[in-house]
C-alpha cells in the first residue's frame, strides 16, 4: 500500500459529518477509496444521502493534513491499520453494518483467532465478581490456549479480565475510547504495557483523541462485534456493559451473563438480562463451552504451578510480609519493606500476573490461596 493510499484510508474516518455507513457509501459510488478524494463537488452532491454541506466537507480536503500526520505516526510506531475493504479486515467485524471503516491495532493480537470472547462488566466490581472472572478465564485457558480475551481496560471487571488472561497465558486486547497516545485510566498503564507483548490495543480514534464519555459508548460496538460472544460479569441496571450486550444482540452475537443475588446493586443488570431472555445464564467456564459449542481439540493433563519458587528478592520479601502480617495495603508494605511505592507497585503487578497474590478493595493484597 502506498503512503497516499494509507492517508486516504485514514482520512475517510476524519471527514466532518461522515460516519462509517456514509463512508462506505462514498467509496461505493466513487469506485474506490482514493477516488473519493478526487471526486468533484458536483458529483458528490449526486450521491444519495450526501447533501451540499457534506459534499463541501469532503471536497474541501481540510482534513488531509491531519490524516497525513496520523499516517506518519502509525508508520513510525509500527501500528497496524485495518481498512474494511482489505482482505485482512477481521471477518467478525466485517459482518457488522456500522463497524469502523478504519481502525488501528498496536501489539500482536490475532484478530482472526478461532475463538474470541469479550468480557465486560461494572466498574464497581465486588471481590466475588473479580474472583469469578479470574476463575472463569483460567478455566477457559486450560482448554483453549489460543482464546483471545477482549475488554475495555476500564476499572472493575474490564481490568480484571485483562489481568486474568495475562496470568493464564492468554492473549488479551483492550478496545480503547481514545487514541493510542493515551492510556486511560493511567493506573492501568502497567497492564497495558504487558498487553502489547501478548495482545494489544485497538481503537478507531486518531492517536491524539482524548478520553470522552461518548467515545466509550462508541467503542462498545467494536467490543461486541469483534468477538464470538460477550460475557457480562456484574453490572448495574444501567451502564456500558448493558449497552455492549444490546449491541452484541443486534449483531446476532451470543450474550451470556453471570447471575447474582436478588437485591445486589451490581448484579441487577445481569439478572435483568437473564430474566428478559437477552442473555444465557452461565456460572462457570463449562457453561460457556456448552452454550457456545466450543470443544477442546485435546485435553492434556494440567500442569501444577509451583508457587513461591524462582522469585526475586523483592518478591520473597513481599510474600514473607504477607505470610507474617496477613493482608496488607500497598502503603503499609512500602513502609514495612522500605521500598518506594512506584517500585513496589511494579513488583506487585508482576506477582499478580504470575498468580502469586490477589488484589482486594482498598489497595489491599493477600497471598493467593
Strand-by-strand arrangement of the 116-120 sheet: 80-83, 102-107, 199-203, 172-175, 148-151, 116-120, 229-233, 254-258, 280-281
Over 60: is that where the pLDDT of 300 sits? no
Stretch among 46-50, 192-196, 252-256 having the lowest mean pLDDT: 46-50
Q: For domain 116-292, which architecture applies?
A: 3-Layer(aba) Sandwich (3.40)
Model confidence band, residue 350 (pLDDT cutoffs 50, 70, 90): confident
Give yes or no for a cis peptide into 185 (omega within 30° of 0).
Answer: yes
On the question of pLDDT at 96 being above 50, the answer is yes
Which residue would you say has higher pLDDT here, 12 or 353? 12
3-state SS class at 83? strand
More confident residue, 321 or 89: 89
Cβ proximity of 135 and 284 under 8 Å: yes
pLDDT of 163 reads 96
Q: What is the per-residue pLDDT across 31-58, written as a single tens digit (0 to 9) for each?
A: 999 999 999 999 999 898 888 999 999 9
> What is the arithmetic mean of pLDDT over 69-84?
96
CATH number of the domain located at residue range(s) 313-367 in this protein: 1.10.10.10
**What is residue 227's DSSP assignment?**
S
Least confident window among 135-139, 181-185, 272-276, 321-325: 321-325
**Helix, strand, or coil (residue 365):** strand
Contact (Cβ atoms closer than 8 angstroms) between residue 210 and residue 240:
no
Classify each residue of 218-231 as buried b or exposed e, where b means 16 or more C-beta atoms within 10 Å of its C-beta.
Answer: ebbbbbbbbbbbbb
Domains 116-292 and 313-367 share a fold: no
pLDDT of residue 297: 65
Q: What mean pLDDT, rounded, does the chain reach?
A: 91
Binned at pLDDT 50, 70 and 90, residue 11 comes out as very high
More confident residue, 345 or 209: 209
Residue 310 three-state SS? coil
User: 344: which residues sit within 8 A by CB, 6+ positions away?
Assistant: 318, 330, 333, 334, 337
The DSSP symbol for 232 reads E
Q: What is the domain partition of the chain in residue ranges?
A: 3-76, 116-292, 313-367
Q: Where are the alpha helices (DSSP H) in the chain?
A: 3-11, 20-30, 33-36, 41-45, 52-60, 64-76, 91-94, 127-143, 157-167, 189-197, 213-225, 240-250, 268-275, 285-292, 313-325, 330-337, 341-353
- Which pLDDT score, from 0 to 100, does residue 310 have? 72
Q: Give pLDDT, residue 49.
A: 83
- What's the rounded mean pLDDT across residues 146-164? 97
| Least confident span in 9-18, 277-286, 335-344 | 335-344
Candidates 315, 341, 316, 319; CA nearest to 330 is 341
Q: What is the mean pLDDT of residues 209-223?
A: 95
Q: What pLDDT is stored for residue 206 in this prediction?
A: 96
Which run of H or E residues covers position 231? strand 229-233
pLDDT of residue 344: 87
| pLDDT score, position 369 | 65
Q: How crowded is residue 153: how many other Cβ atoms within 10 Å of its Cβ?
A: 23
What letter would DSSP give residue 312? -
Confidence of residue 323 (pLDDT cuts 50, 70, 90): confident
pLDDT digits (tens, 9 = 90+) for 181-193: 999 999 999 999 9
**DSSP per-residue codes, 93-158:** HHTSTT--SEEEEEE---TT-S-EEEEE--SS--HHHHHHHHHHHHHHHHH-TTPEEEE---TTHH
Flag whether pLDDT at 302 surpasses 90. Answer: no
According to the CATH classification, is domain 3-76 in 3.20.20.140? no
pLDDT digits (tens, 9 = 90+) for 108-118: 999 999 999 99
How far is the C-alpha of 127 from the C-alpha of 359, rounded, in Å?
9
CB distance 146 to 296 below 8 Å: no
Identify the pLDDT of residue 343: 84
Amino acid at each position: 500500500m502506498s503512503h497516499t493510499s494509507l492517508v486516504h484510508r485514514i482520512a475517510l474516518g476524519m471527514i466532518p459529518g461522515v460516519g462509517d455507513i456514509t463512508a462506505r457509501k462514498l467509496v461505493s459510488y466513487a469506485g474506490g477509496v482514493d477516488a473519493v478524494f478526487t471526486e468533484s463537488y458536483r458529483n458528490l452532491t449526486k450521491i444519495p444521502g450526501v447533501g451540499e454541506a457534506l459534499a463541501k466537507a469532503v471536497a474541501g480536503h481540510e482534513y488531509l493534513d491531519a490524516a497525513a500526520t496520523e499516517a506518519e505516526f502509525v508508520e513510525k510506531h509500527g501500528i497496524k491499520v485495518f481498512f474494511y475493504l482489505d482482505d485482512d479486515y477481521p471477518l467478525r467485524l466485517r459482518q457488522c453494518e456500522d463497524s469502523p471503516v478504519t481502525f488501528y491495532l498496536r501489539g500482536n493480537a490475532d484478530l482472526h483467532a478461532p475463538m474470541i470472547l469479550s468480557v465486560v462488566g461494572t466498574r464497581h466490581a465486588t471481590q466475588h465478581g473479580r474472583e469469578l472472572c479470574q476463575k472463569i478465564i483460567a478455566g477457559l485457558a486450560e482448554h483453549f490456549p489460543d482464546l483471545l480475551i477482549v475488554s475495555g481496560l476500564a476499572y472493575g471487571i474490564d481490568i480484571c479480565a485483562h489481568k486474568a488472561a495475562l496470568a493464564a497465558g492468554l492473549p488479551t486486547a483492550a478496545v480503547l475510547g481514545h487514541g493510542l497516545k493515551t492510556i486511560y485510566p493511567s493506573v492501568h498503564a502497567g497492564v497495558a504495557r504487558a498487553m502489547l507483548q501478548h495482545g494489544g490495543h485497538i481503537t478507531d480514534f486518531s492517536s491524539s483523541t482524548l478520553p470522552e464519555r461518548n467515545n466509550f459508548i462508541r467503542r462498545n460496538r467494536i467490543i461486541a462485534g469483534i468477538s464470538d460472544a460477550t460475557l457480562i460479569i456484574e453490572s448495574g441496571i444501567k451502564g456500558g456493559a448493558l449497552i455492549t450486550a444490546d449491541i452484541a444482540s443486534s449483531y446476532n452475537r451470543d450474550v451470556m451473563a453471570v447471575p447474582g443475588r436478588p437485591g445486589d446493586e451490581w448484579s441487577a443488570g445481569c439478572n435483568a438480562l437473564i430474566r428478559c431472555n437477552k442473555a444465557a445464564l452461565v456460572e462457570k467456564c463449562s457453561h460457556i463451552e456448552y452454550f457456545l459449542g466450543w470443544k477442546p481439540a485435546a485435553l492434556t493433563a494440567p500442569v501444577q504451578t509451583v508457587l513461591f519458587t524462582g522469585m526475586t528478592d523483592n518478591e520473597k520479601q513481599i510474600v514473607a510480609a504477607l505470610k507474617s502480617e496477613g493482608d496488607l495495603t500497598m502503603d503499609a508494605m512500602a513502609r514495612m519493606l522500605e521500598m518506594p511505592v512506584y517500585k513496589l507497585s511494579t513488583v506487585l503487578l508482576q506477582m499478580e500476573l504470575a498468580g502469586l497474590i490477589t488484589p482486594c478493595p482498598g489497595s489491599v493484597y493477600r497471598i493467593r490461596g
